[in-house]
Amino acid sequence: QVQLQESGPGLVTPSETLSLTCAVSGASVSTDDFYWSWIRQPPGKGLEWIGYVFHTGNTNYNPSLRSRVTISVDTSRNQFSLKLNSVTAADTAIYYCAREKVAATTDWFDPWGQGTLVTVSS
Amino acid sequence: QSVLTQPPSVSGAPGQRVTISCSGSRSNLGAGYVVHWYQQFPGTAPKLLIYDNVYRPSGVPDRFSGSKSGTSASLTITGLQAEDGADYYCQSYDRSLNALYVFGTGTKVAVL
Residue B98: band (very low, low, confident or very high) from pLDDT cuts 50, 70, 90: low
Using CA atoms, how far residue A24 sits from A65, A79, B16, B24, in Å, is 24, 6, 39, 33
pLDDT at B41 over 80: yes
User: What mean pLDDT is predicted for residues B28-37?
Assistant: 95
Residue B109: band (very low, low, confident or very high) from pLDDT cuts 50, 70, 90: very high
Instruction: Check CB contact of B14 with chain A, cutoff 8 Å.
Output: no
Chain A residues whose C-beta is within 8 A of a chain B C-beta are 46-49, 60, 62-64, 96, 101, 103, 105-115
Q: How far apart are CA A73 and CA A57, in angstroms?
A: 6
Inter-chain touch B100–A47, beta carbons under 8 Å: no
pLDDT at B1 over 60: no
Pick from A64, A101, A113: CB nearest B99? A64
Inter-chain touch A108–B36, beta carbons under 8 Å: yes
* pLDDT score, position B65: 98
Residue B99: band (very low, low, confident or very high) from pLDDT cuts 50, 70, 90: low
Pick from B45, B51, B102: CB nearest A108? B51
Q: How far apart are CA A26 and CA A70, in angstroms?
A: 25
Q: How far apart are CA B1 and CA A56, in angstroms?
A: 30
Looking at per-residue confidence, does A27 or B3 come out higher?
A27
* pLDDT score, position A103: 87
* pLDDT tens, residue order, chain A (122 aa): 999 999 999 999 999 999 999 999 999 999 999 999 999 999 999 999 999 999 999 999 999 999 999 999 999 999 999 999 999 999 999 999 999 998 888 999 999 999 999 999 99
Output the DSSP codes for chain A.
--EEEEES-SEE-TTS-EEEEEEEESS-S--TTEEEEEEEE-TTS--EEEEEE-TTS-EEE-TTTTTTEEEEEETTTTEEEEEE-S--GGG-EEEEEEEEE--SS--EEEEE---EEEEE--
Give the full edge-to-edge strand order of the sheet including A69-74.
A3-7, A18-25, A79-84, A69-74
Q: Is the dihedral of CA B98, B71, B61, A108 positive or negative?
A: negative
Instruction: Quote the Cα angle for B20-B34-B26, to 5°.
Output: 90
Considering only CA atoms, which of A118, A38, A109, A47 is closest in space to residue A79? A38
Candidates A106, A107, A109, A116, partner chain B, best to mutate (most B CBs within 10 A) = A106
Q: State the nearest Cα–Cα gap between A51 and chain B, in angstroms.
A: 9
